[in-house]
Amino acid sequence: MRRLLLVLALGCSGSQPLVPAPVAKPAPVDPGEPTGLPAGYVEVRAEHIVPLGDQDALLLVDEPDNLVLPVFIGGTEGLSIQGRLMHVPPVRPLTHDLLDHLLVKLDAKLVQVQVDSLRHDDQGGVYIGSIFVRSKGHVFKLDARPSDAVALALGDHVPIYVAKAVLEEAGYKWDEVQRQLQQAAGSAT
> 10-64: per-residue pLDDT in tens?
444 444 544 554 555 554 555 678 888 999 999 999 998 998 888 899 999 999 9
Using the 8-state DSSP alphabet, how is residue 32 labeled? B
What's the CATH fold of domain 32-188?
Bifunctional nuclease domain (3.10.690)
163 - beta bridge partners?
Answer: 41
pTM of the model: 0.79
The structural domains of the chain, with segments of one domain joined by +, span 32-188
39 - beta bridge partners?
Answer: none
Amino acid occupying residue 146: P
Please write the tens of the pLDDT for every residue from 97-147: 888 888 989 999 999 999 999 998 877 789 999 999 999 989 999 999 999
* Whole-angstrom distance, CA of residue 87 vs CA of residue 92: 15
| Rounded to 5°, angle at Cα 158 from 154 and 163 | 95
Which residues does 170 contact at the CB level (< 8 Å), separation at least 6? 69, 70, 118, 125, 127
